[in-house]
Structure 1
Amino acid sequence: MSRPSVLLVEDTLSLQMVYRSILATAGHRVAVAGTAEEGLQQFRAHRPMVVLLDLILPDRDGLEVMRDIQAIQPETRVIAITANGSVSRAVEAMRAGAHDFLVKPFDEGRFLSAVQNALAEATPRDTGKTDGQAATRGRDPAEIAESSGFIGSSDAMKRIHMTIGSVARSMATVFITGESGTGKELCALAVHANSNRANGPFIALNCGAIPQDLLESEVFGHMKGSFTGAISDKQGAAQAADGGTLFLDEICEMAPALQTKLLRFLQTSTVQPVGATRPRKVNVRIVCATNRDPLDAVRRGHFREDLYYRLYVVPIHMPPLRERGQDIIEIAEAALARFAQEEGREFHGLDPATRALMLSLPWPGNVRQLLNVMRNVVVLNQGGWVTPDMLPPGLAEEGRPAEPPSPPMAAPDALGTDSLLGLPLAEAERRLIEATLAMHGGSIPKAARVLDVSPSTLYRKIEAWNAKAS
């Protein structure tokens, strides 16, 4: 008889019977155990490629059992199972090397999908390996760097490449943090491109750039006639990403009501378009990002704590450009060569004075700002070596420290907000934003930090004002 391909370690007998029945009906060979000791005995005897492991066992901690399994056979894919009130335990398991996790109660489709994905990933691809050789779980960081489009060889970027290589082929949710312009979407694309979903769709949605009353329709879709203006059925981003990856940028800008629906989507893997009476099943991997501190958003009550623990499984922090050292020069010269080719110009590179200046700048706009600077240099100059005088005017002054903000009680007078009384809310908001921008020299990122909103929110409002004025 063939050895079991799945080991189920679950101490609740009724759940053990249900899970085993579902797996057997789906054609999987299953071994079962009710304790940690029995589970390790079964594992040593059968060496299954996938283990479904309840993290709360009567005789031992499930995380300890997982570490023993990984020590015996590193290529085994462990799917952690935990109760609804212990999501943080599942997060801990993912960081310790679990392939995926399930939070009780979960439906049959999510259960079988997790097992199938784990089995597909655990299947050896190199038939020349002996049984004693462990398959490597992640790809080489150098390969990730080459395929991701990231430029830079700093230690921080090497760690990011290593994390992407380790997590890309799992179903774990990736949560990317970092300032605006650091390359969070590029990181999400790298996770997708190195996953077993690379041939599926990659759908990106900026939660901060879409009006909140339209965001639900953008994420989950809507049915014809479900609201004024719904003249036809619309497929949402979650359904469009079926079989691939859904990237939710600026996730902390999502309204609380929609956060609740997103949490349900993560728990059930189903979407229900606005106006629909029945949910639809989808198979989507979630990657999300924010330029805020997500835990601070939880403390302030802007982001649901349970959703935070659902999403914040594998964190990746994109470092600001000012902390990446020589990466600044590597990115600048690569951009210079690319833009010069596009514009039909010939540049030799950055001269020593320009390099020194670039390394001294704070780059508040990060990689996006650096790329814009190099584009400006190429467009406005004929070629040769890039010297400091070729850089955009005022760039060097950005390194000067900003004036400290006014004390909270003085803010209304400093901004002239005493004149806001009696104005419509929209007009008062506009004047406050414009005054804050003026205080910070027109810098949208700085004004956004003071106002505690996303920079894209300010960009969107300014664009709407300009469109209305024209």
Structure 2
Amino acid sequence: MQPPPSDTILLIEDTPSLQMIYKAALKRADYTVETCGTGGEGLAAFRRLRSSVVLLDLMLPDRAGLDVMHEILASAPQTCVIVITANGSINKAVEMMRAGVHEFLVKPFDDQRLLAAIENARRALHHRPKPNEFEASIQVLPPFIGHSAPMLAVYDKIRSVARSMATVFITGDSGTGKELCADAVHQGSARAGGPFVALNCGAIPVDLLESEVFGHLRGSFTGAISDKLGAAAAADGGTLFLDEICEMDLNLQTKLLRFLQTSTITPVGATKPRKVNVRIVCATNRNPLEEVRQGRFREDLYYRLHVVPIHMPPLRDRGDDVNEIAETLVVQMAREEGRDFAGLSPRVRELFRELPWPGNVRQLINVLRNVVVLNDGPLVMPTMLPPDLLVERMRPADTKPAEPHRPALGDLAGRTLAQIERIVIEDTLARHNGSVPKAARELDVSASTLYRKLDAWSKAEAAQ
């Protein structure tokens, strides 16, 4: 019979001087610590103590830290293993994170960083369900809807990673639910009681993005009329979600990397940094590795962030999830709009399964809202669907979608440069189903530039 988990922290570190420093810092914080200098000694001590938290040096004299970690987690999967690594071994640490390590500390680190890692691990242990409770939990993870195999795999990965401190990198097409995924990671973590702060890096002008992330002091630049708390500070004790991370300016990527390494921020105009305790979750609808190859995303930042990847599948690959989502939403929307809808007709269910849904769940929501606002139930019928959706369904598979009308050069004669610019931008957006980041890439401008122009046009039309 195995002994119960112990509160004694097991430190496996082969350098005597570092062993003394770490042990002294932990003892000052009233932790009980046992130290070992080799992997073999560490495993023997773990079998005796069953420590719930293990500090494990990656480089040991007798065996690889990865092997030691595997043996610990194989015998006690609930153990929080915190890896200690040097800068040159970050890639190996990332591999260990994916294999189940709770967190890693990059040398050199101070006492505050060490104690924060221990506290995070203990908090995570407190929130972890017992194995039998976890197995009995429902398969679907709120607020998601759907039981398809790709989504069940996503739910399992969210449940696993939520309990750790690992950085999560979410990829997927626009409208697949990347922010829902980030929020689910937050809600399933020990930080659920803290703030969840979401920041869209592609929707903020480059010259304001640093201030939005790290904050600023009054008078630090023109227009800074008061102190501003940045997203990183606002997320202290919780989760910071950086959406469209690949849209971030390269200069700010450098500062973000430093923030990840030191857990400190320096607001614009400030002279002293301040410590914050946040977990980073980021997302993009691009291929991040391709962005690295093209020189638009720092390689070291990529490896720092891309610890546990989660890919959100497109709606067309989720089988009957589209109908499960649609029937749930149409009832909710009918209640909001005072309509009488109970579900979808069999023909609509068939149509929904066959449609490509380029805009994914976001497109489905818009279609259903249109139906509910303009019609009444009790079932959604094919005649209620927007005509362009039916055209998309009836188009032969080998026929390319008809492109929106693009003015010939003669059509542009007599127009102002501003009018021509708007025609080109709106045409590009139409061909990309309204995706600003994709249109921005084709036009070779930043997404924030397009967002500013769209906002200006909207305000001008509202004022007329």
Same fold (TM over 0.5): yes
User: C-alpha separation between the residues in 1 aligned to 2:449 and 2:440?
Assistant: 8
Q: Which of 118, 127, 131 is the equivalent residue of 1:136?
A: 131
Quote how far apart the aligned CAs of 1:140 are: 5.0
Does structure 1 residue 43 correspond to structure 2 residue 46?
Answer: yes
Pair 195,138 (structure 1): closer, same or farther in 2 beyond 3 Å: farther
Q: Are the equivalent residues in 2 in contact too, given 1:223–1:232 (CA < 8 A)?
A: yes
Q: SS in structure 2 opposite 1:78?
A: strand
Q: Which residue of 2 aligns with 1:11?
A: 14
Quote how far apart the aligned CAs of 1:405 are: 12
Write the letter of the residue equivalent to 2:45. Q
User: C-alpha separation between the residues in 2 aligned to 1:300 and 1:138?
Assistant: 46
Does structure 1 residue 314 correspond to structure 2 residue 308?
Answer: yes
Quote how far apart the aligned CAs of 1:467 are: 3.2
Write the letter of the residue equivalent to 1:89. K
User: C-alpha separation between the residues in 2 aligned to 1:59 and 1:429?
Assistant: 66
Pair 212,353 (structure 1): closer, same or farther in 2 beyond 3 Å: same
Quote how far apart the aligned CAs of 1:85 are: 2.0
Q: Which residue of 2 aligns with 1:74?
A: 77
Quote how far apart the aligned CAs of 1:163 are: 1.2
Matches within 5 A, 1:156-195: 156-195=150-189
Does structure 1 residue 364 correspond to structure 2 residue 358?
Answer: yes
Quote how far apart the aligned CAs of 1:210 are: 0.5
Write the letter of the residue equivalent to 1:215. L
Pair 103,62 (structure 1): closer, same or farther in 2 beyond 3 Å: same
User: C-alpha separation between the residues in 1 aligned to 2:110 and 2:276?
Assistant: 13
Does structure 1 residue 199 correspond to structure 2 residue 193?
Answer: yes
Instruction: Kindly tell me the number of residue pairs found equivalent between the two proteins.
Output: 449
Quote how far apart the aligned CAs of 1:451 are: 4.5
Does structure 1 residue 279 correspond to structure 2 residue 273?
Answer: yes
Q: Which residue of 2 aligns with 1:229?
A: 223
Q: Are the equivalent residues in 1 in contact too, given 2:127–2:189 (CA < 8 A)?
A: no
Pair 386,263 (structure 1): closer, same or farther in 2 beyond 3 Å: same
Q: Are the equivalent residues in 1 in contact too, given 2:191–2:238 (CA < 8 A)?
A: yes
User: C-alpha separation between the residues in 2 aligned to 1:309 and 1:458?
Assistant: 29
User: C-alpha separation between the residues in 2 aligned to 1:98 and 1:14?
Assistant: 24
Q: Which moved more, 1:218-227 or 1:20-29?
A: 20-29
User: C-alpha separation between the residues in 2 aligned to 1:415 and 1:60?
Assistant: 69
User: C-alpha separation between the residues in 1 aligned to 2:440 and 2:356?
Assistant: 18
Q: SS in structure 1 opposite 2:150?
A: helix
Q: Are the equivalent residues in 2 in contact too, given 1:415–1:436 (CA < 8 A)?
A: no
User: C-alpha separation between the residues in 2 aligned to 1:118 and 1:27?
Assistant: 16
User: C-alpha separation between the residues in 2 aligned to 1:44 and 1:18?
Assistant: 25
Q: SS in structure 1 opposite 2:240?
A: strand
User: C-alpha separation between the residues in 2 aligned to 1:259 and 1:137?
Assistant: 42
Q: Which residue of 2 aligns with 1:461?
A: 453
The superposition leaves residues 364-400 of structure 1 with CA deviations (integer Å, 9 ceiling, x where unpaired) of 1100110110111111012222111110111123354
User: C-alpha separation between the residues in 1 aligned to 2:49 and 2:308?
Assistant: 30
- Root-mean-square deviation over aligned CA pairs: 3.0
Q: Which moved more, 1:7-16 or 1:457-466?
A: 457-466
In the superposition, the TM-score normalised over structure 1's length comes to 0.87
User: C-alpha separation between the residues in 2 aligned to 1:240 and 1:402?
Assistant: 50
Q: Which residue of 1 aligns with 2:214?
A: 220
Q: Are the equivalent residues in 2 in contact too, given 1:207–1:251 (CA < 8 A)?
A: yes
Write the letter of the residue equivalent to 2:182. A
Q: Which residue of 1 aligns with 2:329?
A: 335
Does structure 1 residue 208 correspond to structure 2 residue 208?
Answer: no
Q: Which residue of 2 aligns with 1:32?
A: 35
Q: SS in structure 1 opposite 2:59?
A: coil
Pair 229,159 (structure 1): closer, same or farther in 2 beyond 3 Å: same
User: C-alpha separation between the residues in 1 aligned to 2:93 and 2:350?
Assistant: 46
Write the letter of the residue equivalent to 2:229. Q
Q: Are the equivalent residues in 1 in contact too, given 2:214–2:266 (CA < 8 A)?
A: yes
Q: Are the equivalent residues in 2 in contact too, given 1:139–1:165 (CA < 8 A)?
A: no
User: C-alpha separation between the residues in 2 aligned to 1:382 and 1:73?
Assistant: 56
User: C-alpha separation between the residues in 1 aligned to 2:407 and 2:207?
Assistant: 34
Q: SS in structure 1 opposite 2:309?
A: strand
Q: Which residue of 2 aligns with 1:132?
A: none
Does structure 1 residue 433 correspond to structure 2 residue 436?
Answer: no
Q: Are the equivalent residues in 2 in contact too, given 1:351–1:385 (CA < 8 A)?
A: yes
Quote how far apart the aligned CAs of 1:72 are: 2.5
User: C-alpha separation between the residues in 1 aligned to 2:132 and 2:214?
Assistant: 33
Q: Which residue of 2 aligns with 1:239?
A: 233
Q: Are the equivalent residues in 2 in contact too, given 1:208–1:457 (CA < 8 A)?
A: no
Pair 13,414 (structure 1): closer, same or farther in 2 beyond 3 Å: farther
Matches within 5 A, 1:340-419: 340-399=334-393, 400=395, 403=400
Q: Which of 108, 112, 120 is the equivalent residue of 2:111?
A: 108
Quote how far apart the aligned CAs of 1:447 are: 3.9
Flag structure 2 segments of 5+ consecutive residues without an equivalent. none
Quote how far apart the aligned CAs of 1:73 are: 2.2
Pair 461,141 (structure 1): closer, same or farther in 2 beyond 3 Å: farther
The superposition leaves residues 192-244 of structure 1 with CA deviations (integer Å, 9 ceiling, x where unpaired) of 11111111111111111010100110111000110001111111111111111
Q: Percent identity?
A: 62
Pair 441,268 (structure 1): closer, same or farther in 2 beyond 3 Å: closer
Q: Which moved more, 1:364-373 or 1:30-39?
A: 30-39
Quote how far apart the aligned CAs of 1:107 are: 2.7
User: C-alpha separation between the residues in 1 aligned to 2:290 and 2:420?
Assistant: 27
User: C-alpha separation between the residues in 1 aligned to 2:205 and 2:137?
Assistant: 40
Does structure 1 residue 59 correspond to structure 2 residue 62?
Answer: yes
Pair 161,387 (structure 1): closer, same or farther in 2 beyond 3 Å: same
Quote how far apart the aligned CAs of 1:466 are: 3.8
User: C-alpha separation between the residues in 1 aligned to 2:432 and 2:95?
Assistant: 44
Q: Which moved more, 1:394-403 or 1:285-294?
A: 394-403
User: C-alpha separation between the residues in 1 aligned to 2:426 and 2:261?
Assistant: 42
Q: Which residue of 1 aligns with 2:247?
A: 253
Pair 457,339 (structure 1): closer, same or farther in 2 beyond 3 Å: farther
User: C-alpha separation between the residues in 1 aligned to 2:338 and 2:13?
Assistant: 65
Pair 163,331 (structure 1): closer, same or farther in 2 beyond 3 Å: same
User: C-alpha separation between the residues in 1 aligned to 2:127 and 2:342?
Assistant: 48
The superposition leaves residues 274-302 of structure 1 with CA deviations (integer Å, 9 ceiling, x where unpaired) of 00111111111111111111111111111
